């Protein structure tokens, strides 16, 4: 039987620490964080959480195969370190995670970009199971992406291949993005960009969006469904950006399936058909049609990527 893995999924505002075994989440704990702060002090919090989870499960660290961390930035799995943070946890590139894991648990350590970890989880036990050529897109506060070709994660020489799907260009002369580029998918249709997009939209002051204390995708979908014209136009814009991005990823990575996850997929009933129809009409795939599917593992996808990452099968 495959030994359990200790998994840490680190986002910009929280981290989820868990013990997983193949397709089972044995125990989990979540902590709130601030990505503007340093990461090193949080490692002590992670270690204590791991020990409490292991005690709850009546396990020792030696019973586990290792510690795997999904990081919200560029991480190089080959050297076990963070490469770039894009203004999140800026001390992370200086941290020796392998030494930390050895000191705390005497266990092997593996790290990967969080979008790649989510794709690993979905390919291992979720919506991409049985598919070796797959792209994942995550739609939420930002837009993430990862690609797998013939069963291997696409990483590249500098550890950034395939995982910058949200930073492909979507609009020439578009909005500035946090990455430094202009008109990225993320700058044009992500959660953090949505309030700026809405307030700059012609006619915004006459929309019920202007009355919202928080402008987010939940409000956008609800108001669009209620017939608010500006909300309908902005939603149409976002759908077009996401669908155009999907075609770009298909042309770049030649997948047979695209898995879409993230918080925005609460409205998969609207998003999936739109992107599938757009891809069918505009993607150049003479061999057939790329399948567009919803992620199955939700926010736990990255945790389930721990086992394949630690066992080195990717």
> Would strands 74-76 and 81-84 be described as parallel, antiparallel, or unpaired?
antiparallel
Structure tokens at 30: 């979540």
Phi and psi at residue 89, in whole multiples of 5°? 45, 65
100 Cβ neighbours under 8 A, 6+ residues apart: 43, 47, 109
Span 74-99, average pLDDT: 92
The band of 314, judged by pLDDT with boundaries at 50, 70 and 90, is low
The band of 313, judged by pLDDT with boundaries at 50, 70 and 90, is low
Are 246 and 278 in contact by the 8 Å Cβ rule? The answer is: yes
pLDDT in tens, 263-298: 899 999 999 999 999 999 999 999 999 999 999 998
Are 37 and 92 in contact by the 8 Å Cβ rule? The answer is: no
Answer yes or no: same fold for 5-120+300-311 and 130-295.
Answer: yes
The domain segmentation of the chain, as residue ranges, is 5-120+300-311, 130-295
- The predicted pLDDT at position 164 comes to 87
Distance, in Å, from the CA atom of 79 to the CA atom of 31, rounded to the nearest integer, reads 27
Span 19-45, average pLDDT: 93
Q: What is the mean pLDDT of the chain?
A: 94
Which CATH code fits 130-295?
Answer: 3.30.420.40
Are 144 and 163 in contact by the 8 Å Cβ rule? The answer is: yes
pLDDT in tens, 125-162: 999 999 999 999 999 888 989 999 999 999 999 988 99
Are 291 and 283 in contact by the 8 Å Cβ rule? The answer is: no
Q: Output the CA–CA distances (angstroms, integers) from residue 135 to 26, 66, 116, 123, 273, in the order listed.
A: 28, 26, 10, 10, 17
pLDDT at 163 over 70: yes
- The predicted pLDDT at position 172 comes to 92
By CB atoms closer than 10 A (0-12, 13-18, 19+), residue 8 is: buried
**% residues pLDDT > 70 (the chain):** 99
13 Cβ neighbours under 8 A, 6+ residues apart: 32, 33, 34, 35
pLDDT at 4 over 70: yes
Fold topology of 5-120+300-311 = Nucleotidyltransferase; domain 5 (3.30.420)
Span 177-185, average pLDDT: 93
């Amino acid at each position: 039987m495959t030994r359990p893995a200790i998994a840490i999924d680190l986002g910009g505002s929280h981290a989820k620490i868990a013990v997983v075994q193949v397709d089972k989440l044995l125990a989990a704990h979540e902590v709130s964080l601030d990505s503007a702060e340093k990461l090193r002090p949080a490692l002590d919090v992670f270690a204590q959480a791991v020990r409490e989870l292991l005690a709850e499960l009546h396990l020792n660290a030696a019973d586990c195969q290792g510690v795997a961390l999904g990081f919200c930035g560029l991480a190089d799995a080959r050297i076990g370190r963070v490469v770039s943070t894009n203004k999140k946890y800026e001390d992370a590139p200086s941290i020796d995670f392998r030494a930390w894991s050895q000191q705390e648990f005497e266990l092997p350590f593996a790290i990967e970009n969080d979008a790649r970890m989510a794709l690993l989880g979905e390919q291992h036990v979720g919506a991409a199971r049985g598919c070796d050529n797959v792209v994942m897109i995550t739609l939420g506060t930002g837009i993430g992406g990862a690609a797998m070709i013939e069963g291997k994660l696409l990483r590249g020489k500098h550890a950034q291949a395939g995982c910058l799907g949200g930073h492909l260009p979507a609009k020439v002369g578009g909005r500035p993005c946090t990455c430094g580029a202009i008109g990225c998918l993320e700058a044009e249709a992500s959660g953090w960009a949505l309030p700026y997009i809405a307030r700059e939209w012609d006619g915004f002051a006459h929309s019920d969006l202007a009355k919202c204390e928080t402008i987010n995708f939940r409000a956008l979908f609800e108001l669009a469904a209620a017939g608010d014209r500006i909300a309908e136009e902005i939603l149409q814009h976002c759908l077009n950006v996401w669908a155009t991005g999907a075609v770009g990823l298909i042309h770049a990575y030649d997948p047979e399936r695209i898995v879409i996850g993230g918080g925005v997929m609460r409205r998969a009933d609207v998003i999936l058909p739109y992107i599938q129809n757009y891809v069918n009409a505009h993607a150049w795939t003479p061999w057939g049609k790329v399948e567009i599917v919803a992620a199955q593992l939700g926010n736990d996808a990255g945790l389930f990527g721990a086992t394949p990452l630690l066992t080195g099968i990717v």
